[in-house]
Structure 1
């Protein structure tokens, strides 16, 4: 069959989604398509190219040699199309995960990016944890997120890039009648003997639980065992009120009923927050997001560490980080 004179970019986008997911159902969800429509587009592309691109079985989907050969070309075509449309203000929205509506760092970066690039649409998403968001980034369902990059599994880090934005001072949320609630700041040593909630068991936030374990190691502070996974602020507050465990947080953590937020000191533990994105991401809105992160980080002194600041050694060199 002679080579086609034109290929619909929609067909290439369908092919790339299946090639990256190796699963038609997940690829269809990623593109917000019915699986039947996605399969039809892939079949049409195969007919136009005159070759099979996938080996399909009831158990798995794999690329054929021609599929492997097409993939880098298809990615470059789609990146060029996105850049071209972006140059004329017709690009798709940039999807930016802020983890939680109450967290400040990512929200401030996003709001500043919208000021820098009002002609582009930057839309917030909430995935509640960088590990959860990283999987969505790699699948193309998100464009950027925020969190502790060194705490990601190396298999996830390999497909991502990051820019360190802030060392965020950490805090503890206490029931208002807790023995430490009257303090203006809580020394870490004062938490000895306590069991502190740090997201253990939440599959979206193991990077946060790992940070807590490293901070508490040798200080007599226990990480609370997994609690029922709460979805939404109301359920989280209910579960925490029931367990009455202190909660490891950051200084900008949103207020919760019948609790107090106290910064941690002696030393001041720091949570490293990076802007994280998929390797190869091309989007004019992302340029504004990155500029906003750099601008705010410098203006606010977000990367200045106090003399008694604490941060895991692995976070100073994420390339060497491992579990």
Structure 2
């Protein structure tokens, strides 16, 4: 008796439901009818001889067998995607590489510009996803190719499916309203923020890795994370939200100047935001090679991977940043 053969379509159906834990949303994601999706999942369960989901009128959950299948299904689907990419469509070097530089004005744009110089034959297109947690989902879905951010802030299961190259320890800073008492300082000691409410992206589903870093930094220092506020896009919206809520904003030292506010580096100790270049595992493209070379060159030229003595960084982040990438 020959072993069962599982069609990739059935695995894709399973993964969509496993990610969404909702059949209607999973069907919309795959652009199929819900009945067809349910039929494929039931067929996969029959072929494997296990129940993959627990279903009630209120919720869908993964069973133990569904959880066990998850990594195998992901690897199988990714392998098929790589095979198809290798033998269909334009050659890899002819495909545009979509590079998430997070936000305009950050040093990530310098890395992209240097990579374009190193690989003039590649089309490297900038995207602005604002947050590595959101960008990681886009990377795994194949909607972007490269991003930047705090790799340790991602879920371990997500990190397993991505590669990273440490690029920079970015000193952290605070954006203050112009009339704030601390705005008169050239640098702001962390202890001077005791009693302040600092906005650090709380409630923004794109950037929980940044809020987590802030929470670790503020712990034991008497600094509170400000409650969620509307996400401000653009200078005028930033000015308006800053004027309305009056909360200082935690950021990096390269945050672009905004009207009505000043940026001050944090010191005593200098807190560091770890930044890695991130891409999907097994993704091959000469543009990625160029970006990695550009990141390494700029890090060497600017001392981006040199940690100031006594600087603050979570132990898990420090360990990841010491890896060769």
TM class by smaller structure = 0.7 to 0.9
User: How far apart are the structure 1 equivalents of 2:94 and 2:115?
Assistant: 16
User: How far apart are the structure 1 equivalents of 2:94 and 2:203?
Assistant: 38
User: How far apart are the structure 2 equivalents of 1:315 and 1:86?
Assistant: 39
Per the normalisation by structure 1, the TM-score is 0.76
Deviation at 1:188, TM superposition (A): 0.8
| Residue aligning to 1:163 | 165
| Residue aligning to 1:175 | 177
Summarize the alignment of residues 65-144 of structure 1 with structure 2, pairs less than 5 Å apart: 75-76=78-79, 78-79=81-82, 82=85, 91-104=94-107, 106-144=108-146
1:290 maps to which of 284, 289, 292: 292
| Residue aligning to 2:5 | none
- Which shifted more, 78-87 or 161-170? 78-87
Task: Name the SS for the 1:268 alignment partner.
Answer: coil
Deviation at 1:24, TM superposition (A): 4.6
1:249 maps to which of 251, 265, 275: 251
User: How far apart are the structure 2 equivalents of 1:86 and 1:290?
Assistant: 25
Deviation at 1:232, TM superposition (A): 4.4
Could you list the per-position Cα deviations for residues 177-215 of structure 1 after superposition, in whole angstroms to 9, with x for gaps in the alignment? Answer: 110111111111111111111111111111111111111
Report the CA distance shift for 1:161/1:140 in structure 2 as closer, same or farther (over 3 A). Answer: same
- Which shifted more, 116-125 or 236-245? 236-245
Task: Name the SS for the 2:182 alignment partner.
Answer: coil
Task: Name the SS for the 2:172 alignment partner.
Answer: strand
| Residue aligning to 2:23 | none
User: How far apart are the structure 2 equivalents of 1:84 and 1:296?
Assistant: 35
| Structure 1 portions without partners, runs of 5+ | 1-11, 29-34, 44-50, 63-67
User: How far apart are the structure 2 equivalents of 1:90 and 1:107?
Assistant: 21
Deviation at 1:110, TM superposition (A): 1.0
| Residue aligning to 1:151 | 153
2:240 aligned with 1:238: yes
Deviation at 1:132, TM superposition (A): 0.9
* RMSD, aligned CA: 3.6
2:213 maps to which of 170, 195, 211: 211
User: How far apart are the structure 2 equivalents of 1:110 and 1:176?
Assistant: 33
Could you list the per-position Cα deviations for residues 73-99 of structure 1 after superposition, in whole angstroms to 9, with x for gaps in the alignment? Answer: 775565356457899576321111111
| Residue aligning to 2:44 | none
User: How far apart are the structure 1 equivalents of 2:215 and 2:73?
Assistant: 45
User: How far apart are the structure 2 equivalents of 1:305 and 1:246?
Assistant: 25
- Which shifted more, 308-317 or 194-203? 308-317
Decide whether the 8 Å contact of 2:101 with 2:128 is kept in 1: yes
Decide whether the 8 Å contact of 1:86 with 1:283 is kept in 2: no
Could you list the per-position Cα deviations for residues 232-263 of structure 1 after superposition, in whole angstroms to 9, with x for gaps in the alignment? Answer: 44333321221111111111101110111111
User: How far apart are the structure 2 equivalents of 1:27 and 1:142?
Assistant: 18
Decide whether the 8 Å contact of 1:147 with 1:274 is kept in 2: yes
Could you list the per-position Cα deviations for residues 281-300 of structure 1 after superposition, in whole angstroms to 9, with x for gaps in the alignment? Answer: 12221111112112211222
Task: Name the SS for the 1:317 alignment partner.
Answer: helix
Task: Name the SS for the 1:180 alignment partner.
Answer: helix
Task: Name the SS for the 2:181 alignment partner.
Answer: coil
Task: Name the SS for the 1:167 alignment partner.
Answer: strand
User: How far apart are the structure 1 equivalents of 2:154 and 2:292?
Assistant: 21
Aligned residue pairs, count = 286
Summarize the alignment of residues 252-267 of structure 1 with structure 2, pairs less than 5 Å apart: 252-267=254-269
